Amino acid sequence: MANVAQPRSQSSVPEGVAGALPASNRSAVRRLWPALTLLAWIAVAALCGCSNEPAPRDTHNAISESGDISSFFYQMLLWLDVAIGAIVIAAWGYALVRFKRATGDDTLPAQNHGDAKLELIWTAIPTVIVIAITVPMLVGVFRLAKRPDQNQQTIEIDVTGKQWWWEFQYKSGTANGLHTANEVHVQAGTAVVMNMTSSDVIHAWWVPRLTGKRDATPGRSYPLYFSAREPGIYDGQCAELCGASHALMGTKLFVHPPAKEVEVEYNGAKVKLDSYETWVKEQLAPAAAPAGADMERGAKLFKDKTCPTCHIVKGLEGAESASPSMTTGPNLTHVGSRMTIAANTLPNTADNLAKWILDPQAVKPGAKMTKIAMTPDEAKAIAAFLTSLK
Amino acid sequence: MSAQLAATDPHEVADAAGHDHGDHGHHAVVENNFMGLPNIKLAMWAFLGSECMFFGSLIGTYFFYHGKALAGPLPQDVFSIGITSISTFLLLMSSLTMALAVDAMKQRNPATARNFLVITALLGATFVGFQVYEFSHFVHLGLKLSTSLFGSTFYVMTGFHGGHVTVGVIWLSMLALLIHKGKLNPAKLPINVEVAGLYWHFVDIVWIVIFTFVYLLEFIQ
Amino acid sequence: MAALSVFDKALEPVYHQEREVKYGLVDWLTTVDHKKIGVLYGVAGLFYLLVGGLEALLFRIQIAKPDQNIFVGDTFNGLVTMHATTMVFMAVMPLIAAFSNYFVPLMIGARDVAFPRMNAFSWWTFCFGSILLNSSLIFAEFPAAGWTGYAPLTTKAMSPSAGIDFWWAGLTMLAISSMVAGVNFVVTILNMRAPGMTLMRVPVLVWMMMVIQFLLAFSFPPVAVGLILLSFDRTFGTVFYEYTMGGDPHLWQHLFWVFGHPEVYVLILPSMGIVSEILPVFARRPLFGQHAVIFSGIFIGFVGFGVWGHHMFTAGMGPIADAVFASTTAIIAIPTGVKIFNWLGTLWGAKMTYPTPMIFALSFIPLFTIGGLSGIMHANAPLDLQQHDSYFVVAHFHYVLVGGALMGLFAGFYFYMPKVTGKLMNEALGKVHFWLFAIGLNLTFWPMHDLGNRGMPRRIYTYPADAGWNFDNLLATSGVFLMAAGTLVFVYNILTSLKNGKAAGRDPWDACTLEWLADSPPKAHNFDFTPIVFSERPLWDHKHTADMAIPVPAAAEEIHMPSYSWKPMWVSGGIVLILVGLLLLHTIPFSWLISVAGGLSIIGSLYAWVTEPV
């Protein structure tokens, strides 16, 4: 679009502009700054890539089809973004170097106000791109929301988020009635239905390598479907701010092999994983009776210090029901078989357990577990007893 | 472009903008009125748009929780269409008297306008009185703010409407007083009364929505 | 071709003013001048920018390394909450208000806003509200439920501390302030334009300001309702967010995000407007496709009301709602792309110079593009299930809000400060500020993409050493120090330029729009005469097109200027009393009397307001 005013304006020297721009304008650094900016980005981007830290919670190294769907869209959009970003930033960088005003050039550039055809094109192209990425996305949304086939064997688990731990109640198949905390076990290749809810504030259960997160909302229950492929142990965490110890509300996913035990790598160490059914059988059994005087003392202290008010130990007399609910605190029937305590916060050792029992709030700020007066020795005895509950 | 450049005569430009600025240099404040609306009226429309979102959210909350109360009393147990119909009728009548006040002011008849404003305020105050009675009656029937979702949503929604009526009553009374004392610029009186009227009619309409969808619908099923 | 010196020949207008002008402190407390209120907003915004930045610095130190114990649990959560609340409501929004107050009337050739006293009321309500919110640290502790304040974490049972009470009370005042300002500026822009300034000749920045004022007026009521429900739950025992009574936590999320998403555009659109003003000046040519830029801004504003559900993909709304919100969100990419391409079109074929404002404005383009492109990822619901509440989202919105909104506001500062103070800002210090800040922000926020991909959730105060997040977190924290240093250089630059800056003159940048016609700093009445507008670039065409010179009337104008007033502050004070009475309701007997006194004082002040001559 030609501007009528242009010819007249060519020679004008605008007042004021010269005074505003100091002499340092013409320094070499100033000419190079777009290039320097690009370099700065590349340096930062490269620094991230340079880190050869392992990524045990990589969201794009998925172990389930639903995780793959998220990853697929990431790859797709990443390349699209890189392409668009490269075009925009290249055009921008080129313009900065190419269309710099030469020293002493007081003529005006062409005073065009726009170009209808160009604008139509760069409205149309994004529209086409948006449609092209939206259609597969919609397919993905409904694929992720599809309930597993009713005829197929599924593991159904009611998940309840609590400040600050996870409760898992198995609802189907051989594991029906199994009740555990923080560490959830499933079978490779079997569809899992997790019904998410909460009993206090909103939490979100997230195991990055498995699939996307799902909110656990009090008063609501919403399902998460997945089927994990590879046996292994995967860390996760609450992803919705849920109070003081939000950062310490971890979870672990154990994917067991369907048949015989396998060895998997976890944090650089080899760990043996039983078959899922073996694990279920062990967990459904009542707790072993305390063996020996030390264990009996620990069991007695466990009861004397009122631990069963919140924690049940199936098979231990006087600790089989808790109030106000059976799930005020984690079920400890097989607490010794867990890898970690306090919601994936500490490795499950007798020392750590004793530390936790003695002063829960020192381990987790605001922890709801009551700090009960006892000597370190008593705590150790209780910890030793609990550790024996394999 | 060329049209813009062609319009170089100031009077021509001013006309294109829909105004007569033949004496532009001597205007105290240039009002480039949008759609011919004076500032205060445009402001009231924008404010009422904002209020629509406010009451939309409150009424939306009521319906989001409709039928989800875990404990009684329920709407059917407490609502009395008869009594509420009377108060609704009074509020509707107040819109009429408000319109008469606006009209009187347009005829440059401040005394009549003042009288109608007082009547409108009295009708509004009576409506608020009915609401106070209704609330205390419901509390007597066992419905408190904390009783159930119905109690919470009902009292907060209708309470905020009652609050708006109360603000309106204060506004109209103040306006009537100022007219009576002759404290307002006579040239601006019609627009002041008209804007108060816009607010009053809006509050009235909100009540019609609440009465229809909250009270009457309860008895249709 | 007319020189600007013709404006010097204009005669001073003849004043009609009811009351003598006050000086000193009383002037600042009672002013109704949009420029002074703009300065007040600007100073407050910069102050809170430093406060919010300090909060970020503190919690970034805590998570610089794994397993640290400096700010633990709710102390950390409080810092996170206040960082976001401060930056959104008390830093960026008042800075935007500073620009809209100071420059909207100047840019449309008006003497003041439509309702000067209402404008002062907005300011005082903001001022008192922000103090009330921050006083939580003195009287209780910082609110710690996140700036999103997701119920039921905010209920009395889950957060017994009074911090949340200060939070809802403060935010309610900020909401009132914004809604009133929204109404005021909608009227100002629609009704107070200079003769000849048709809607399509309104500068892009003013257009974007108008869009956000509509967003403010229409999006704040839902969150105000959400906050009212919360305050009733906490104060009067209602059960809106009590799930044991059937309450649904999704209610808050809907009410919050119906506001929250338009709010995002409130934060970014003004910076887009500033960039759209600055690029043409230093490219020395008109904005490419000005109408397309304006209409895309309006379109973003409209569609912005229909996308809030994309904040709730993980909440379990069901696949149909997810699909709808994901699709509407993707549409936002189109007008945003149009804007970016038009800015590039402006640069293409230009003859650019690169003073500090231009550098900041130019950096906006790629930085905002990065934020926009990661936004396209979040619009994809299945992918968002992974990225939601992870550091990837933190990276995204900081590129948009720091790389976008804040860089745009910095550009605006360097560009417009000469008009406000009459002094040019120091170019060398400006460059130092730019480089420190630009490198710092990339160093901080770029690694956060990687952290999100590595599965790090946001708002965690500690993390294990073996999760693979150590290196990125250390990088991110080191970048914050660079940003902090840059910001201090910026503040120093403002102060030193005030004292030693070169005189700016009327039009230091050879700019296009009416604000540069006024003196620097402008007189109380802005313009000696009412300018007449012939084009989108009135001042440019005055300088460059012979027959489009802005006519200077030979006679002096007679103008009426509003007088100072105490009443706006009184009314705001009444609101504070009402809220304080509610906050103390369960602590001090009969404190509801404070609320009643507040209500009565508002009525009295309003009576005085309408009867005082202005």
Q: Which CATH superfamily is domain A154-283 in?
A: Cupredoxins -  blue copper proteins (2.60.40.420)
Classify residue C297 by burial, with Cβ atoms within 10 Å: 0-12, 13-18, 19+.
buried
Q: Which candidate, C356, C357, C339, places its Cα nearest to that of C287?
A: C339
Q: What is the pLDDT of residue B13?
A: 37
Crossing angle for the helix pair C470-500 and C34-62, to the nearest 10 degrees: 150
- The CATH architecture of the domain made up of A285-387 is Sandwich (2.60)
3-state secondary structure C49-74: HHHHHHHHHHHHHHCCCCCCCCCCCH
Residues of chain B with C-beta less than 8 angstroms from the C-beta of C195:
10, 13-14, 17, 19, 21, 24, 30, 32
| Cβ atoms of B34 and C197 closer than 8 Å | no
Q: Which candidate, C563, C571, C564, C586, places its Cα nearest to that of C128?
A: C571
| Cβ atoms of C207 and C273 closer than 8 Å | yes
- Cis peptide upstream of residue C123 (ω within 30 degrees of 0): no
Structural tokens at position A175: 């594991």
What confidence tier does C4 reach under pLDDT thresholds 50, 70, 90? confident
Active site residue C458: yes
> C46 at the B interface (CB within 8 A)?
no
Q: Which CATH superfamily is domain C4-565 in?
A: Cytochrome c oxidase-like, subunit I domain (1.20.210.10)
Buried b (16+ CB within 10 A) or exposed e, C525-541: bbbbbbbbbbbbbbbbb
Test C453 with A56 for CB contact under 8 angstroms.
no
Cβ neighbours for C588, distance < 8 A, ≥ 6 positions apart: none
Residues of chain C with pLDDT > 70: what percent? 100
> C557 at the B interface (CB within 8 A)?
yes
Query: C83 or A102: whose pLDDT is higher?
Result: C83
Active site residue C74: no
Residue A79 CB coordination number (10 Å): 10
Q: For residue range A279-338, what is the model confidence (pLDDT) as tens digits?
A: 999 999 998 888 889 899 999 999 999 999 999 999 998 888 876 677 789 999 999 999
Judge whether residue A7 has pLDDT over 60: no
For the ranges A9-23, A99-113, B30-44, C559-573, the lowest mean pLDDT is seen at A9-23
Cβ neighbours for C390, distance < 8 A, ≥ 6 positions apart: A59, A208, A239, C451, C452, C455, C456, C457, C458
User: How far is B58 from B51, CA to CA, in rounded Å?
Assistant: 10
> B167 at the C interface (CB within 8 A)?
no
* Token pair 């609101």: residue: C575
Q: For residue range C529-539, what is the model confidence (pLDDT) as tens digits?
A: 999 998 999 99
Judge whether residue C102 has pLDDT over 80: yes
Tell me the average pLDDT across C390-402.
96
Q: What is the pLDDT of residue B220?
A: 78
Q: For residue range C403-459, what is the model confidence (pLDDT) as tens digits?
A: 999 999 999 999 999 999 999 999 999 999 999 999 999 999 999 999 999 999 999
Tell me the average pLDDT across A173-202.
94
* Token pair 């002041």: residue: B192
Helix (H, G, I), strand (E, B) or coil at A12: coil
Tell me the average pLDDT across C540-551.
89
> C224 at the B interface (CB within 8 A)?
yes
Structural tokens at position A288: 């072993």
Test C382 with A246 for CB contact under 8 angstroms.
no
What confidence tier does B30 reach under pLDDT thresholds 50, 70, 90? very low
What confidence tier does A2 reach under pLDDT thresholds 50, 70, 90? very low
User: How far is C195 from B13, CA to CA, in rounded Å?
Assistant: 8
Test A100 with C354 for CB contact under 8 angstroms.
yes
Do the domains at A154-283 and A285-387 have one common CATH topology?
A: yes
Residues of chain A with C-beta less than 8 angstroms from the C-beta of C407:
none
Strand partners, C390: C457
Q: For residue range C279-335, what is the model confidence (pLDDT) as tens digits?
A: 999 999 999 999 999 999 999 999 999 999 999 999 999 999 999 999 999 999 999
> C555 at the B interface (CB within 8 A)?
yes
Residues of chain A with pLDDT > 90: what percent? 72
Q: What is the pLDDT of residue A44?
A: 66
For the ranges A89-103, C206-220, C375-389, the lowest mean pLDDT is seen at A89-103
Residue C350 CB coordination number (10 Å): 24
Task: For residue A23, give Cα distances in angstroms to A28, A102, A246, A345, C282.
Answer: 12, 14, 55, 60, 17
Active site residue C353: no
Nearest by CB to B46, which of C16, C183, C247? C183
Structural tokens at position A193: 């239905």
Test C463 with A240 for CB contact under 8 angstroms.
no
Name the phi and psi angles at A53, rounded to 5.
-60, 140
| Cβ atoms of A311 and A332 closer than 8 Å | yes
Helix (H, G, I), strand (E, B) or coil at C86: helix
Structural tokens at position A124: 């149309």
Tell me the average pLDDT across A47-52.
64
User: How far is C368 from C404, CA to CA, in rounded Å?
Assistant: 5
Q: What is the pLDDT of residue C168?
A: 96
Test B47 with C183 for CB contact under 8 angstroms.
yes
Please report how many Cα atoms fall inside a 13 Å half-sphere around the Cα of residue C377, on the Cβ side. 32
| Cβ atoms of A229 and A63 closer than 8 Å | yes
3-state secondary structure A260-305: CCEEEEECCEEEEECCHHHHHHHHHCCCCCCCHHHHHHHHHHHHHC
User: How far is C81 from C68, CA to CA, in rounded Å?
Assistant: 20
Residue B165 C-alpha from the chain's centroid: 8
User: Looking at chain B from residue 1 to 60, which residues have their Cβ under 8 Å from any Cβ of chain A?
Assistant: 1-2, 5
Classify residue C186 by burial, with Cβ atoms within 10 Å: 0-12, 13-18, 19+.
buried
Q: For residue range A324-370, what is the model confidence (pLDDT) as tens digits?
A: 677 789 999 999 999 999 999 999 999 999 999 999 999 999 999 99
Judge whether residue A225 has pLDDT over 60: yes
Q: What is the pLDDT of residue A268?
A: 87
Nearest by CB to C191, which of B26, B34, B153? B34
Strand partners, A169: A158, A179
What confidence tier does C607 reach under pLDDT thresholds 50, 70, 90? very high
For chain A, the domains span: 154-283, 285-387
Please report how many Cα atoms fall inside a 13 Å half-sphere around the Cα of residue C379, on the Cβ side. 26
Active site residue C310: yes
Q: Which candidate, A321, A294, A298, places its Cα nearest to that of A309?
A: A321
Given the cut 0.85, state whether the ipTM is greater than it. Answer: yes
> C117 to chain A, minimum CA–CA distance in Å?
36
Residues of chain A with C-beta less than 8 angstroms from the C-beta of B2:
4
Torsion, Cα A159 A161 A162 A165, to 10 degrees, reads: 80
Test A1 with B5 for CB contact under 8 angstroms.
no
Q: What is the pLDDT of residue C478?
A: 94
Cβ neighbours for A216, distance < 8 A, ≥ 6 positions apart: A159, A160, A161, A196, A197, A198, A202, A203, A204, A205, A240
Judge whether residue B24 has pLDDT over 60: no
Q: What is the pLDDT of residue C606?
A: 94
Residue of C nearest to B179 (CA): C611
Residues of chain C with pLDDT > 90: what percent? 90
> C258 to chain B, minimum CA–CA distance in Å?
10
Nearest by CB to A57, which of C73, C319, C467? C467
For chain B, the domains span: 1-32, 38-219
E-strand stretches of chain B: none
Nearest by CB to C455, which of A57, A69, A109? A57
Test B149 with C240 for CB contact under 8 angstroms.
yes
Test C195 with B10 for CB contact under 8 angstroms.
yes
Structural tokens at position A112: 């065009």
Query: A43 or B160: whose pLDDT is higher?
Result: B160
Q: What is the pLDDT of residue A112?
A: 87
User: How far is C409 from C431, CA to CA, in rounded Å?
Assistant: 15
Active site residue C276: yes
Residues of chain A with pLDDT > 70: what percent? 86
CATH T-level assignment (fold) for domain B38-219:
Four Helix Bundle (Hemerythrin (Met), subunit A) (1.20.120)
| B neighbour chains, 3+ CB pairs within 8 Å | A, C
* Token pair 């409209």: residue: C302
Q: What is the pLDDT of residue A34?
A: 61
What confidence tier does A45 reach under pLDDT thresholds 50, 70, 90? low
> CB contacts < 8 Å between A and B, how many?
7
Residue of A nearest to B6 (CA): A4
Q: What is the pLDDT of residue B33?
A: 63
Active site residue C463: no
Residue of B nearest to C528 (CA): B25
